[in-house]
Amino acid sequence: MLAVTVIAGILFVWTLLAHRLARWSITAPIAMMAAGIALTAGSDPPLSFDLDTATFEHMVEVILALVLFVDATEVPAGALGRHKGIVVRLVGGALPLTLCAAFLAALVFFPDEPGWILAVLATVVVPLDLAPTASVIRDRRIPARLREVLTVEGGLNDGVVSPVFLLCIAASAEADDARADYGGALLEAVGAASWAVATGLVTGWAGGRLLRLSWAHGWTSPSALRLGVLTVPVAAYTLSGALGGNGFVAAFVAGICFAPAARQLPGSAVEMTDDLAALMTIALWFLFGQIVNDAFWDGLEVPVVLYALLTLTLVRIVPVLLVLAGTGMRPRDRLFLGWLGPRGVTSIVFGLLAVVRLPDDTGDFIARVMVMTVMLSIVLHGLSAEPIGRLYGRERRLRPPVPAD
């Protein structure tokens, strides 16, 4: 209980100073991670958590399911249509190129690791999570078009990578078996994805329709409505798991199917689910501090640091610049979209699942790379959020006014 009190106290102090700390780009993930590292370090730390439990594994899975659901529902109405060309290029072009680049870079830095393990690693370090740079999405100094594109990409990115991650995990588990059945592993992964999509479609569409009808006829109240929305991703995640599907994909699909109904509900309907996901994510950043200490207790490895830096920079920036060439976007805007590729909760969850499902040495290797990537992302992307906002704000002030007709 003391640990919960400490986490709550640190979060409360941050909320008191949030606006002032934002001037120095100190975000909640940075503050909570730093506190977690400080309070769980050493051989006899003030706080310590048992992270090798099924309870912790399920907790981080639920966090990701809620985050994916909220991301899918928060895509602005019509945003996909307005920016369809750019989003298709980013998700359909830049994302596969980024996965390939991450895999090829891993071959260079970790030549002794099996190919399927490096494929798993690529799916772990590539997914986006806008939570470490949430202030950018709300920063009105940055053009609305760019913020909408990032929101749509962030909502789709994780849902696309999830089945690829599952496929790579299944194949890597078979790789050590002389009688490996890759066809069976592929069918199993496809079956899990199919159950997940079906579960997400049913729970998202039915839940949204029933809640919309109930609200329209005056059968429910705002507080009950918020609880009803929260049950949709939970039902999608748990039902999919019971049927052998992937809960992450199910929650993401449920969010997509629920989104049209959400736009006809009060603006506060999804707030409770969003706030709960945000609160659980902030607590996870504190626990991530201990994961950092555990991963690098024996010191840093240069290849791990270099690979993490590469995945956060060139591995994403170059594909984004390539696929957006010829769109008419300014180089500054293309570079902005390339740089804003923060890693966070999704990478943590995928990394922890790799630890659980793969042999100890392999899982520890993926965990070390994941931890370094996420840690550097929190710092680099978090600290750059305010300077980027200032740059766009200065540009807007200097832009000459449009003459009247």
How does pLDDT run across 121-137, given as a tens digit for each residue? 999 999 988 777 777 77
| pLDDT at residue 123 in the model | 94
- Residue 73 CB coordination number (10 Å): 27
Q: Given pLDDT bands bounded at 50, 70 and 90, which one contains residue 175?
A: low
Q: Given pLDDT bands bounded at 50, 70 and 90, which one contains residue 405?
A: very low
Here the tokens at position 367 are 């965990």
Residue 389 has pLDDT above 90, yes or no: no
Residue 240 has pLDDT above 80, yes or no: yes
| pLDDT at residue 403 in the model | 47
Minimum mean pLDDT among 214-218, 294-298, 373-377: which range?
294-298
Position with higher pLDDT, 54 vs 227:
227
Q: Given pLDDT bands bounded at 50, 70 and 90, which one contains residue 399?
A: low
pLDDT in tens, 247-289: 877 888 898 889 888 888 887 888 888 888 888 888 888 888 8
Residue 232 has pLDDT above 90, yes or no: yes
Phi-psi region of 132 (alpha: psi -120 to 50; beta: other; left: phi over 0): alpha
Could you report how far apart the first and last alpha carbons of the chain are, in Å? 66
| pLDDT at residue 209 in the model | 93
DSSP 175-192: HT-TT--HHHHHHHHHHH
CA dihedral defined by 204, 154, 122, 355, rounded to 10 degrees?
A: -50
Cβ-proximal residues to 354 (8 Å cutoff; 6+ apart), any chain: 120, 124, 169, 362, 363, 366, 367, 370
pLDDT in tens, 44-77: 888 877 776 677 777 888 888 888 888 778 766 5
Phi-psi region of 16 (alpha: psi -120 to 50; beta: other; left: phi over 0): alpha
Position with higher pLDDT, 43 vs 324:
324
pLDDT in tens, 338-366: 998 888 888 988 888 888 778 778 888 99
Segment 174-189 shows an average pLDDT of 60
DSSP code of residue 270: T
Residue 185 has pLDDT above 70, yes or no: no
Mean pLDDT (the chain) is 83
Position with higher pLDDT, 402 vs 201:
201
Nearest to 232 by CA among 59, 212, 217, 36: 212
Whether the CA torsion 76, 79, 81, 86 is positive or negative: it is negative
Whether the CA torsion 289, 342, 126, 283 is positive or negative: it is positive
Q: pTM of the full predicted structure? A: 0.82
Residue 93 has pLDDT above 60, yes or no: yes
User: Yes or no: is domain 52-181+274-396 CATH 1.20.1530.20?
Assistant: yes
Compute the residue count for the chain.
Answer: 405
pLDDT in tens, 5-14: 888 888 888 8
| pLDDT at residue 78 in the model | 58
What CA–CA distance (Å, rounded) separates 317 from 144? Answer: 21
